[in-house]
Each structure stands twice: as structure tokens, then as C-alpha cells.
Chain A
């Protein structure tokens, strides 16, 4: 295989796939890019067996072929080369040669026959969405994904697509985010799936430009396509917990707060809170919320008040300050609304006004006051 292309076009294409390459793997072959040349079309693939990503670029091809490029060395070399035409050659013995203006580098590589089979895109009716909207939805829900390997379903993003709506749900059992978006139309099958968090993160990375992203849903995989780049991810098996059942429908106590004031107060209280429990206490009355914090172990304490508007029973409720801050960060409106039930039941957190076509709802579970 032989081809020539500019440093910048090669670097940006390979760089897109770099996050898929595992840093350590019992299969060293996965730490390589699969590179295939047919005429002028260069197809580059990376996979960690769960997620695979492929991109294409045009080069001036000289000899068709297929080879593996050692990912880290190759990418670092490319980065350090000047933006000049680079001549790349893969010899039959597997060695990769980069030549540019008198610079010549020769890299050892693995046998291309050992590369695993990569799934191909199943052509189903795609859902089209603006890249910015998908990126926004992923960034709003990612924080609540569980890292608990014992509950694999919770380590993914629940994705539900129907004719009217795309919905993502994430939860770690203590917080929950549900974000829905009324899209412009989808003719494919309605499906529910659990997408690995790493795949969602990579999808968000693909959404860096103007324009649309296409999503292909099947019951075995989800694919994302932006321009010449396609990412296909396996799904997490199993059943997602019944999240709808834990969203309270009768939380009658409605608390509205100025977002900045409340956020700043909780940030201060978090500093003084116990490092393990991160517990803060909210004493809610008709027109103000008193935030109390006490760390008995360290002997630290604090209190401050934030004005609010509150319709409901006076309430004394405890929270993990870090959880509260995580949730508040997702609010884009000047004020935040908390619909509370009791001091031991889930509270709903919402912006005062939803973005157009969007529906964002978050849940936060209190801590028992001791």
C-alpha cells in the first residue's frame, strides 16, 4: 500500500479515531489503526471491540492495500511533522514508512490478518438531529451515569427513540436525569436501548461542527454518522430500571430559587461539609431557605440564608452537596424549581422554562438527617 496526503488532513482524520484506541489491552492488535486504500479512498478504522469508528479521506493513492498502523507512535509522529505532503508506505512485511522532505521513519506493526472483524453499518431509517442538540443532551445527562460495575445497566445511557421523541435517561440510583427532545420526524422503528457511556461521550465529540448527525437504531447496535465518520457501538444488555415509576407525580411543595445565589451558597457549604457524607441541610420556609452545614469530625460548621418563593409545608431536608451542585449545573434558566415531596423522598429539579422542543427533568434523592 502506498499513498500521499498532507500532514493536516492525515492528522485530523486519525485524531478523530484516537479516543477509541484502548490505552492498554490484552489484544495488542487493538492498539492499531486499520488502514485500507482503494483508489483514492483511504478508510481508517479503530475499535475496542465494543465501539468501532471509521472515517474516510481522499488521498493520492499509488498502490491499493491494507495494513495496521501502530496508533500511538504513528499519531505522535504525524503531530510533530510539518504540514507538508507525507508519503506513506506499508511494506508486505508489515513495516510502515513515513517520508516527508528528507525525514524518514520506519515503524514496526502487527499482521493485518489478526485484526478483528468490525461490525458494519446496518442501513435502517436514520434519525436526523442537529449536532448541537445531541451534544447538549449528552452533556446534560452524562453526570448521573453510574460507575458501579455491579449494575452494568446503570453504567449506560438509556436511549428511547419514537416517531416524535428522542429520550435519554441516566441514573446512579441517587440522581436521575430524563431529557427528551421533539425531533422533526423519524420513520424508523421505535426502540429502547442502553448505550455505553463511553460511546455517548465519543458521539458528543463527533458533534463539534454545524450541521446534522444521523443516528441508526437497531436492536443490536446504534450507529452515529457525521460526514465521513461513522461510529458503531454495541449495546449494554439487560433491562433498564423502571425509571418512570420513581418519578413522583404528587410532589406538592414547590420551591423556586435564584440559581446563582443558591448555587453559590451550596458551593460554600460544600467546602465545610463532611468530606465523606458531603451532607448539607436545607430548612425551607415560606420566603427563605436556610442552608446549614456541620462537620462534627473536623469541628467545622456554617449557615446562610437564601431568599426563595415557596408554596408548601415547612421542611427540613438533607442532601449530598455534590449531588445538588451537579444538578444545578444543568439548569440554564435564571431560576430553578424544586418540587419536593417529603424529606425522605425524591425531589424533582427543573428549569423554570424549558428550551424549545426539549423536556428536562432531574431527580435527586435526599440523605437521612441524623
Chain B
């Protein structure tokens, strides 16, 4: 079989980069996209300038503020990132239909068939990088290799705005002296165990008897040796080949723990609306609803309810979410996070039974009308009153957002 060439594309500081397009005067400054530095949110993305101060993705925003008080904190604007991400993926799909998104800003591409026309691996990589830069004003790092693993490792070697190509014959040489902790899938715990075997480099791991690791780690031990040798899957699936999405959900972490049932229900209503909107956009419906409650102290409970028919509207999702919440909530306990998920999904095109009742008995009409309004005027333009009033959601009109884009809690010292 013909050897493949796989790209791993990773957008550089994606959320920050998208924000900087609108706020160019912040270029060169530490910028952090994430939660309120005086509340309890986390850092979603930070600019390279902020990372120099030790700010990392996933750390509490408060800690980031202590490390880098001069940073500009921006509230995430999901719709903006989704739009930018779609534009990036549209560029990628011009070169190959085998584009597999890993997340909003990361994807694998099988470019094997595109190489000849593009004039080689390096040319193709730079063509893609330059188009993303020139047309979208964003920068990307690409790693290339014979399989997904090597491509992923390569993209991590030269960030930001980099390109690294590891053809098969170079893998062993490059991997040999790298610390074993750099290997994809090796975390702190595994690293410590490997060290106890005297394995500090990837090269040492590649030559290590698989049988010994198998006894210690089970099947994963054997796999580790393959990973260290740069062996892995080279299959990148087309969109239509991937198994259908099995569930769709949204979660919300409260700024401060909440015990008020109405507030929590209001939030569940908002989350149900969002899930419903995504379901409709994907033309999916589900027959199972689950609600997640995380209490103060991180104890997390999930409850689900199976239904007799497929649903995709908030008017159907929310009553189940409310019932599940009321059944399982331990009254008075402070809640940190709630989530709503619809699972057991099925494409609506395959639901052929026609319905007798239309609006107002059938929620289809209302939901689609709301979707159209949101498409034109923004996510906060219309919604259920309970979602707006009880969730205490900081909703802004499109006018407000236009005039003060997303700068709601810039640090007062700046």
C-alpha cells in the first residue's frame, strides 16, 4: 500500500488570535481569553506574551491574574471562534476531503493525493499556512509525517507559525534523544514509572522489551513501544465516514456557587435552548436527556431519562431536564456546575412518520422561527424569559456588543 502523508494542523493561540483581529492595538501585549479574573472561571487561551509569565490554558483565571496582573482579560465569544474555525476548515477542504477536526482549532488532514499538484510536502504546507495568514489573518503550525502520531508530534516541535516534516527515515533520529515525557500519550504518572525502568528518552523506550512493559501496563505497555517507534494509524476519515455524533450537550460553571433552585432552572433552560439549537443545526434528534450537577467540592452526579420519541426542541428538552434536576438535587447544597445533554441521536431525515399537529401544538414552528431570529440578530436576541431573568445571564443587545466588543471586564489598572 502506498505510504501516506498526514498533516496535523494546530492554530496558534486561536481564541486570542481571533480577538486580536478585532483589537489590533493589543498585539504584543499579554492577552488572556477566559473567565472573570475575579471570579472562578478558567483560562481558555492566552497569548504567547502572557505565557511568558507562566499563564497556561486551563488554570484558574484568578491565578493567571496573580501571575500576570497587567494582562488584558477578554471574555470568550464562542460564535466568533466558530465562525473563524469554519473559515479555516473551508480552506483545508480545498486541498483534501479527508479533513478530520479534533477540536475547534486542530485537525488531521490526509494530503497524500494533494502532494503532486502542490509540488511536495513543504510547498503544500506553506501554501495552506500562507492562505490562512493572508486570507484570514491567523497563523497555524503544521506537522507532517507518515501517520497521525508523527504529524502530531511534529506540529508540537516548532510552534508558533512553524512547519516540521518528519518523513519515515528521520523519525528514529529525531525521537531518539527526546525526553519520554514529550511522547504523545505519556503523562506524568506513566513518565515516572518509565523512569523507574531507566527509560528517560523515547529512543530507549523504542528499544525496550515490550513484554516487560506489557506486564506493568497491560496492552498499553506494548503500544507504548510502537508509539516510541513512531508507528500509528494513518487513517483520516471523511466527514461522512465518521460515526454519527452520539450526544450533544452544554455545561455552565456558575461564577459563585448557587443554591437557588430558580436560578439553576433558569440556567438549565438556557442550556436546553443551546443544545436544541445545535441539534436542529445538525438535523439531529435524540431520545435521551441527561442532566449533570456538580456540587461544591466537585462531587458530580449525572442523571438521565430515556424517552419514547425523538426530540430536538427546548420545549421538549427543558421539562425533562427540570424533572431530572428536581428529582436528584439535594436541596440546599451549593451547586458549582450544571449541564444538559441530549443523547441517543438520530438524523431527523430518517424520522419519516409525519405529525398530525402543527403550531402551537407542534413546537417545530416556534423553534425554527427563533433559530432564524438568532441567525440574524444574535444568540441573545430571543429566548425564554426564565432563561434570561433567572439565570442572571449577562446578555447584551447586538447594539451594545457592537459598540463595546467584548471588553466587559478589562482590568481597571489598564
Contact = CB atoms under 8 A, between A and B. Distances in A.
Given A148-B308, A148-B309, A150-B311, A241 B361 contact: yes
Interface residues of B, number: 14
A246 interface: yes
A174 B320 contact: no
Contacts of B352: 277, 279, 318, 367-370
Interface string A312-353: 000000101000000000000000000000001010000000
B324 to A, nearest CB: 12
A318 B353 CA distance: 9
Interface string A232-268: 0000000001100010000000000000000000000
Contact of A173 (B307, B316, B356): B356
A173 B357 CA distance: 6
B331 interface: no
Closest 9 A-B residue pairs measured CB to CB? A241-B361, A367-B352, A368-B352, A365-B354, A367-B353, A365-B356, A246-B356, A241-B357, A148-B308
A363 interface: yes
A94 to B, nearest CB: 33
Nearest to A369: B352
Nearest to A363: B356
A368 B311 contact: no
Contacts of A174: 353-356
Interface in A161-219: 171, 173-176
Nearest to B358: A246
A55 to B, nearest CB: 35
Interface string B395-410: 0000000000000000
A344 B354 contact: yes
A175 B354 CA distance: 10
A176 B356 contact: yes
A265 B311 CA distance: 33
B319 interface: yes
B7 to A, nearest CB: 37
Contacts of A363: 356
A277 B316 CA distance: 22
A175, A176, A246, A279 — most chain B CB neighbours (10 Å)? A246
A175 B356 CA distance: 8
A242 B354 contact: no
Contact of B354 (A147, A148, A366, A370): A366
Contacts of A368: 352, 354
A59 B2 CA distance: 94
Contacts of B320: 150
B307, B316, B352, B361 — most chain A CB neighbours (10 Å)? B361
A365 B353 contact: yes
A369 B308 CA distance: 22
A149 B289 CA distance: 13
Nearest to B323: A149
